[in-house]
Amino acid sequence: MKQETSNMNRRNALKGLGTTVATLVVAPTIAGGTKVEGDSQPAVLENPVNKYPQPPYPKQKQPHPGLASKMDPLPDHGEKSYKGSGRLQGRKALITGGDSGIGRAAAIAYAREGADVAINYLPAEEEDAQQVIKLIEQAGRKAVAIPGDITDKEFCQKLVEKTVAQLGGLDILVNNAGYQKSNLSIMDISDESFDATMKTNIYALFWITKAALLHLPEGASIIATTSVQAYDPSENLFDYAQTKAANVAYVKSLSKQLGPKGIRVNGVSPGPVWTPLQVCGGQEQDKLENFGGDTPLQRAGQPAELASIFVQLADNGGSYATGQIYGAAGGGGHP
């Protein structure tokens, strides 16, 4: 009995010592909050209301497809602000509409997170595209520029083939390019304009995705840019809003097909974001002046503010997210 008591006391003492050691190890982490060795100054909080220019914005108009470099104020795509941490090291991404706007922000972020990136754009957007190519290369990653019109089925197939050949594979597909033209009446929408909207925003996703699925491995991600227009359409974007609702269905349905194959499909739903889409006929001039001013944050969003969402949806850390629509609309929108 004495021996048993002695053993019990010894076990209790060791148990207490273990608890003490665990406390010593854990306590500094708890006391230090998120402090990590090598940290210097704490992050500076930013007021999202006045972080970027607020309306009124200058009236301005560009011919389609428009250039970010000629907008006033210039959009922020994260050129100076986005800092990567290796979350997408070695990944291979294709981004349509990667020359400007949200696609450009995603391209910069992906490169700084360690991915090689191919961007597609219209030949008229070459000036903007070359700026993006330079930024990707400055991040130490491979950049591939593939100009062409995604309303053409043959080109969509070649786009994927060229990407795979030049990057050595493909595991992130971002269907971002879109066509938007404001019309105050359905009677003002020409068949040609309606056709361009449907082919750019719906057909191209179908063609590119089919071509990409021949190459996407398990663990790959597909991301589509949708819009708040899918949930609360504006009267002047009758045809565009329909395509964005179709993009939501694309995400919801395709994610169910590809989930068992280990490929995730998600969407990003922007609100009023300051991109060339708005100044080349996407908005009426009188609405452009106060673009985004009716949101709780009282301004238009900037492409850079959505970049981290695209990173999260491509990152292995977001592995349980599929069939989801992530909103970024300044306090408006539904997803």
Work out the burial of residue 53: count CB atoms within 10 Å of its CB; fewer than 13 is exposed, 13-18 middle, 19 or more buried.
middle
Tell me how far CA of residue 191 lies from CA of 65, 66, 142, 199, 228, in angstroms. 19, 22, 40, 12, 24
Total Cβ atoms within 10 A of residue 16:
10
How many CA within 13 A on the CB side of residue 85?
Answer: 4
**Is 57 considered catalytic here?**
no
Tell me how far CA of residue 301 lies from CA of 121, 269, 297, in angstroms. 22, 12, 9
Total Cβ atoms within 10 A of residue 323:
16
Backbone angles phi, psi at 98, to 5 degrees: -85, 5
Q: Closest Cα to residue 127, out of 205, 175, 57, 71?
A: 71
Work out the burial of residue 160: count CB atoms within 10 Å of its CB; fewer than 13 is exposed, 13-18 middle, 19 or more buried.
buried
Beta-strand ranges (E) seen in 65-171 are 92-96, 116-121, 143-147
DSSP labels, 158-180: HHHHHHHHHHT---EEEE-----
Q: What's the rounded Cα separation, in Å, for the pair 165 and 167?
A: 6
Total Cβ atoms within 10 A of residue 255:
19
Q: What's the rounded Cα separation, in Å, for the pair 111 and 55?
A: 31
Q: Which of 240, 250, 320, 326 is catalytic?
A: 240
Q: Closest Cα to residue 111, out of 80, 90, 126?
A: 90
Residues with catalytic function: 240
